[in-house]
Structure 1
Amino acid sequence: MNPEPSKSRIVSVGGRLLSWVEMVGLVVIAVATLIAGIQEITEMVGRRAVSLGDLLLLFIYLEVLTMVGIYLQSGALPIRMPLYIAMVALARHLIIDMKEMTETAIIATSVAILILAVAVLLIRFGHVRFPYSASSRDEDAG
């Protein structure tokens, strides 16, 4: 008896199962994001007013949907996407809660946004300066 065929089959079935769970998770995230966006739009219509915080929240929802779409198309997630979402979320927090925040909290939030922006610039610089080919991606994955 050779254990390799059964191990190979287990790995294959496990990989398919994980892919299925991943797909279900992405669909749940997309549907939940759509529902949250619709709820936010309904609240804005009910209030008959749109604030900057509302627009930033809708932008966050749009970025999450874009991130899910990119992941579905390419099977990879650019690390910049969550960083963009985090920057917008922190900016929204700063705009909405500024009156209740201490000076230290305002500075800390602003510095956090700056750190995320620098991280995005460093990642972009790294991709431009040190590009990698499709074959090196395959080697890293394997």
Structure 2
Amino acid sequence: MREWLYPVDPKTADRDGKPPRPDRYLKFAEAGRTQFWGLTAKRHIQLGDRLWVYFKLPLGIVAAMAEVEDEPYEIQDDPDGFLWEFPAALNLEATRALNLDPVPLSALSNQRPQGVGGVSDADLVTFLRHAGM
């Protein structure tokens, strides 16, 4: 199992046309539905991996966690420029805890997270603590 930092931009719209915000992701977790997450390049994401959702500036916080349910697969003609997508479900308990106690950008070893990337061991300890795991 690998841990991934998955940045979302609160200044742009998700696939449903609304901006990604921690409280919306908590509602998605409470609904218990699988979501499809996009990638601009294929990564080594696998079933069972975890995504730590980083809400970019101006929020600058990690406030949700999702568990990957299947491998990425190639897609065609995505209007957002994603070439790959995969299903993952938000973990309700971890997302609820992270909404109450988000991890600020200042606590991350990578002070400029851009694309989807691996999580450092030090950051994982912080994420797990804030997620109540």
TM-score (norm 1): 0.21
Q: Which structure shows the bigger proportion of residues in strand conformation?
A: 2
TM-score (norm 2): 0.22
Structure exhibiting the larger radius of gyration computed from Cα positions:
1
